[in-house]
Amino acid sequence: MTASNPIHIFNGFRTPYGGSEQEALTLWRQLAPHADVHAWAASSRADSTLLASQGIKAIEPHKGNRPGGGTYVFVGSHWRNKLWPYLIPKPRRLIYIYNTFHPKHLELTQRMPRLLGWPSAEHVVISEFQRRELGIRAEAHPSPIDLATFAPASRRAPGPLRIGRMSRDTPDKHDEEDSAVYQQLAERGIEVILQGATSIQSRLSRHPNIKVLPTGAMPAREFLQHLDILYYRSGTHLETFGRVVFEAMACGIPVVCHRRGGYVEHIQHGANGLLFDTADEALEQLGLLIDSVELRRKLGEGGRQYAHQLFSEAAMGQRLAFYLR
């Protein structure tokens, strides 16, 4: 890949903390040593601070600020019903990374507007689970994780045992049963830290051991390295991959996860994490880890090793070759 056929990565870039935004930024960083790569904000509501801090460009064809052809990679965003795609050079190759279950986005990217004249989109999904559920023809690439960023802490911060979760701060990311789970953990003397849970604060107990933080209060790596256990279950939102689960695994943090979502196919129960179906099972699995330092160490190390296999240099090289070919 040379400058004559650059790669342009498009995303809404609406928040520094979104999984889709982080996926686009990580892909950009990993492709940069191999190609002429640029990142573009596909939304008029992009976060200006994020754009400035990362060197992301706003698409402004009237000012001459536009991608110049090559390979266009859309990460969780699309080009339909927008004017600017008609005002920029056509891509030689068009790739859409579909990282949700939103049927409208898939439909919009499978049918190309006749007047636009772009090539048909090649689709990438971020888990085998997602590909099976959708029944579409697509490459399956796990959402990339930077192993240099997500690594075990050099030492544990002093204090009580900590169980936490992290997500986008919307109610659909939280299961209603988890309020009772957090309450029981808090009553056992466990510090429960919920980053991205202000939207459900009215449902939570005011127990002093339950701490609620807004999204982005702590950088993801710092937050995860502060924990002893990651607990994860979403509400009505169905996780296509569950990026935070793999970030925790890379940090050597044992994970306890609901058996629903793209991450499930990567968790070997009892080897690199624990899975549950009900709230009672969740408390049982958490209890095993709370009572056993050795089990926490075993599952944390198993998760770390698995993350290093999944995101190894060789594995990432094979996935990057798809974009570079």
Model pTM? Answer: 0.91
Distance CA(230)–CA(162), nearest Å, equals 9
Contacts of residue 325, defined as CB under 8 A and 6 or more positions apart, other chains included, come to none
- Give the architecture-level CATH label for domain 162-310: 3-Layer(aba) Sandwich (3.40)
- Could you read off the pLDDT of 100-154 as tens digits, one per residue? 887 777 777 777 888 898 999 999 999 999 998 888 889 999 999 999 999 999 9
DSSP state for residue 118 in the 8-state scheme:
P
- Could you read off the pLDDT of 255-300 as tens digits, one per residue? 999 999 999 999 999 999 999 999 999 999 999 999 999 999 999 9
